[in-house]
Amino acid sequence: MKEKELISAFSEITADETAKNEIGRKIFIKQKEKKSTFFKRPLIAVVAVACVFACSLPVVAESVKAHLREKFPEAETMQENIQYAFYEDSDDHIKITVEEFLSDEMNVLMTVHYKALDEKGKEWLINRNFEHDAEASRSIGVGRNVGFGIHPDMQDNTIIHGVNYSYNTEELKESSTETDRFFVTFYEASSRDYDSEKGIFSYPMPSGTKTVYLDTKGNVPVSEFSLASDKVPSEYFTPTYMELSDLSFVIYAMQHGVYETFSEPRNYGGRWILPDEEYDNIRIYFVKANGEKIRLDGWMNSTHPDEKNNHSDLVLLSGRLPEGMKAEDVVSLEINGVEYKLR
């Protein structure tokens, strides 16, 4: 997305002026053409553009069991990590349960089950327009007692704790009945730098929409690696650190001319100054024990330096782990021909 396109997209955001100014504070993200076949990630300018109901996911399972493993094949190898009956709430008419929960804090995946407890609950469940609720999340954002979905809790400070993320809620219509409706909801963040280890989950009930904070610090192990080499992969960045799980990866760096920040009256943000040809020529691979190289695809965006990310100010690349791979398969990382052994 070019800078003028980013400005145009920002001008179309529906929000009050205060919220829009706060969104404008989140430093930008560089978008590249996606070539991945395993998961299409919309790279998002500013804070979030919800991908609600419109995003396609794999075919819905015939059974209501093991929704995560059906929707996200990578969860098949993480069955022991899935938490069941993670959260529930009810009134006299409706019960809601987060039946399955899987998280490495960057990727949070949940299946949600609504059950009618009586005839009044059944009528509400039949008539409730959950798609409208999801659309409300898209235009306003979950976490404000509206909508239906989950997103990272950035502690009301997008400057210090801001990350880019996408999220989606989809009904499993083939599994739903008059008394039971099932949904898959998830978010995918560009890093764990929102720091709160919590997700904001909003969901409708007969009495109104409720919002709760769920612990998302993770049930999927995450490995951490320092990155060091005598060679230099680019004059524009120095790789520093990587986090790797069976769900995702994030590679950090210090930037030397990738972006610059600016401060103007009523506006704070940044602009990309990395030449397009330099960006297009970045090549990053996971290397397996047999020497096979898997090219990586995902997000590149700014971040805030802190001790947790080795004081890095650039997410060089982050995303979902390539299909069919596990974290243990990766023995080294290659960036523009420079190899980093993972220790």
Q: Read off the pLDDT of residues 78-130 as tens digits, 9 standing for 90 and up.
A: 788 889 999 999 999 999 999 999 999 999 999 999 999 999 999 999 999 99
pLDDT at 318 over 60: yes
pLDDT at 288: 96
Q: Which residues contact 117 (CB under 8 A, 6 or more apart)?
A: 90, 92, 93, 94, 95
pLDDT at 167: 87
Instruction: Say how far apart CA 320 and CA 32 lie, in whole Å.
Output: 15
pLDDT in tens, 139-172: 555 555 568 999 898 876 555 567 888 888 989 8
Instruction: Say how far apart CA 111 and CA 170 lie, in whole Å.
Output: 10
The answer to whether the CB of 290 falls within 8 A of the CB of 210 is: no
pLDDT in tens, 214-266: 999 888 999 999 999 999 999 999 999 999 999 999 999 999 999 988 776 66
Domains and CATH numbers, the chain: 37-215 (2.60.40), 222-341 (no CATH)
Q: How far apart are the first and last CA of the chain?
A: 36
pLDDT at 306: 87
> What pTM did the predictor assign?
0.78
